[in-house]
Structure formats: C-alpha cells, structure tokens
Amino acid sequence: MTINKKRIAMLTSGGDAPGLNAVIRAAVKSGESLGYEMLGIEDGFEGLIGTPRYRVLTDVDVKELLNRGGTILRTTNRGHFNGPRVVGQPDDPYLQAYNNIMGMGLTGLITIGGEGTQTIALELANMGAPVIGVPKTIDNDLAGTDRTFGFDTALQVATDALDRLHTTAASHNRVMVLEVMGRHVGWIALHCGIGGGADVILIPEIPFDINKIAEHVTARDKAGNQFTMIVAAEGAFPRGGKPIYGDNGRLGGVGQMVAEQIQALTGKESRCVVLGHLQRGGTPTPYDRILSTRFGAAAVRALHEGITGEMVALSAQDITTVPMIEAVSHLKTIRPHSDLVRTAKGVGTIFGD
C-alpha cells in the first residue's frame, strides 16, 4: 500500500477520564494546521490487532468535543497486551501493532493514557515505532509530569460530594466516610480532604490505626463537634494490613470497613458513600480542558519535530517532553512529610498514623 499523505494517528487506552475528547480535538486541529491527515484508532491498542480499525478525523468531527466527557474513539484496558511482551509468542500483539503502525505510514502514534498505556507505548517505541505519549489518569500518579488531565475534574466531583455530605453529617451527628478513587496513591483523597475540610484523611502512603481515628472522633464529640468527616482513598489500608478487595476481586471496601469499625468503637452512627465512577464521567473542568488542549497540541508538535519515545508533560508552567521510561519506572506518590500533609495536620486533620 502506498501512502501519499503525512499521517498521525491517536488512540485512547485504559480507564476513561474527563479531557480525553479535548486531547483528540486539539491533536486533530493542530495536525490539520500542519498538513497531516489525522486518524483515530478505535478501542485503544486493540484497534491495532489484526486488521487495524481506524477512521479519519477532521475539524468537523471534533468541533464539539472540548467540553464532552468520555472518548469518541472508545477505550479498553490492556486486553491482548496484558503482561510483558514475550518475544516470539504466536500472534504477538506487540508485533501486530508495530506492523500496523508502520504499514499505515504514520509519522507517529499518539498514545493517550496512564501508566499501563505508556508501558505498552514504550515497548512499541523500543521496537522502532514512532510514538509520543499523553499523560492521563484521574489518580494523578503518573511520574514525569506535575499534573495529568482528569485529576482536576475528579477532584471537583469528590470535593462537591464531601461538601454535600457535610450537611447531612451535621444534621444527624454522624460520622460520614467518603471513599474516593486512588489505588496506590492518595492524591484525590488528600486534595479533597484539604479542600473540603475533612477531619480525617486516609491514603495508601500512610497506613492508619483505626483506634486513633476512633479516639479522634470521641475527642471531637467531647469538644462539641458532634460529626466527623472522613475521606478515604480506595487503596488505603490499616497499619500492618493490606489493601482491601471486594467479593468481585476489585479494590475497594475500606470506607465501609472504617465506618463499621468506628461505629463499633465509638457507638456513633457511621455511614459510607463510595463515589466510584462518578469521578471519571461528565464534563471536564476548565483547567482540564486547557491542560488537555495543551497536551494534544504539544504531542503533534513533538512528532512534527521528530521526537518519539517520549511523553508530553507539565513542568511548572510549561509543556515539555520526558522519556517514557521516566513516566512508567515508578508511581508519583505522596511523601508522608510533604507540605500538603503538613498543611492538613496543621489545621487539625489526622491521618490515623
């Protein structure tokens, strides 16, 4: 097949996050302005298995995407790419994807996703495919960038929920536990807890002692504060324990466990609300729309300048690129003695440590 046009393709992979469509829009508009034909790979990396599934995207196709949640290209988790590559295995998905990328005559492939996505992209880049990553995760745990798009919107949803729960907790003198996303890191819980005035914040980076939380609830009661707000990341766990999984094998349940144990230890009515996928859906905040637009445009610029095997990233106020290996070699976790943690403790919030 002879390809006469300059082409850039993009895909969205992993869990959905507010801002995906805004990245697609920015990439298409930027690419067209530089003379590229822009392609959208459907269903993440699965769209590069077998006969590639893609469609041409033009300015007309993306004109109403800036404030639209989800992804018009759809997304999947690792699928056929679950686990490290085994060279020489029959129907090697990495080799199929590589051959399709090269066969489509692409100047480059933009991979929009989190740690799993960029790990796959790094392997393809090491094979020689021209790839540039865009960091996406509501957890904000991807290293190499100050912020990922989707985090600000998830934080807004979580903080709004905490604000609403405050009023019902105060009305009934209850302990309210809000469980938010954060498998391995507690960025949403920490920011939501500070921004929403939580009395207790539980994060994976600081294992908690349930007795200390109960003592804090009792002390608040005696001081006349007869309700308590707790924000827990889904990956938080007790000291000496490990993260909690539900009957379906999925991470989660720490909020309900904390609520039940606090009620047993203090006698106070305690309730848990699990925010779940509400944090992933809906309209992105203005901040996420802007960041997504900057990332999408920067990814096209990078490919146009011949940069591959890297990920666009926010560094202070500027968009730059970093080697993909920096993004996937470790998670961006919260330091237990960081300024944010010290700030929370300074205003009376405890972490159960």
Over the chain (353 residues), the average pLDDT of each successive run of 10 is 79 95 98 98 95 97 95 85 75 93 97 95 96 97 96 98 95 96 96 98 98 97 96 96 77 92 97 93 96 99 98 97 95 97 98 95
Cα-atom radius of gyration of the chain, to the nearest Å? 22
Note the helical H segments in the chain.
Answer: 20-33, 93-103, 115-126, 151-172, 187-195, 210-222, 254-266, 286-304, 324-328, 339-346
Q: Which domains are seen in the chain, by residue range?
A: 7-149+284-328 (3.40.50.450), 153-281 (3.40.50.460)
Predicted pLDDT at 275? 93
Look at residue 3 in the predicted model and tell me its pLDDT.
58
Note the pLDDT of residue 20. 98
Coil, strand or helix: which one is 291? helix
Residue (of 350, 340, 307) closest to 109 by Cα position: 307
Q: Which of 185, 188, 150, 157 is nearest to 16 (CA)?
A: 150
Q: In what order do the strands lie in the sheet with 228-233?
A: 200-202, 228-233, 175-180, 270-274
Dist. CA 293–CA 300, nearest whole Å: 11
CB 184 within 8 A of CB 204: yes
Tokens of 89: 């295995």
Q: Which residues contact 112 (CB under 8 A, 6 or more apart)?
A: 10, 11, 12, 13, 20, 23, 24, 133, 134, 136
Q: Do 44 and 315 contact (CB within 8 A), yes or no?
A: no
**Angle, to 10 degrees, between the axis of helix 286-304 and the axis of helix 151-172?**
160
CA dist 23 and 11 (Å) reads 10
Residue type present at position 180: V
Q: State the angle between helix axes of 254-266 and 210-222 in degrees (0 to 180), rounded to the nearest 10.
A: 50
Look at strands 7-12 and 106-113 and give their pairing: parallel
Beta bridge partners of 45: none
342: Cβ contacts below 8 Å, ≥ 6 apart: none
pLDDT of residue 2: 52
Tokens found for residue 157: 């949803």
Both tokens of 330, joined, read 């470790």
Max intra-chain CA distance, the chain? 78
Three-state secondary structure call for residue 136:
strand
Q: Which amino acids are annotated catalytic?
A: 139
For residue 238, count other CB atoms closer than 10 A to its CB. Answer: 20
The predicted pLDDT at position 26 comes to 99
- Residue 111: φ, ψ to 5°: -105, 115
Q: What are the beta bridge partners of residue 313?
A: 320
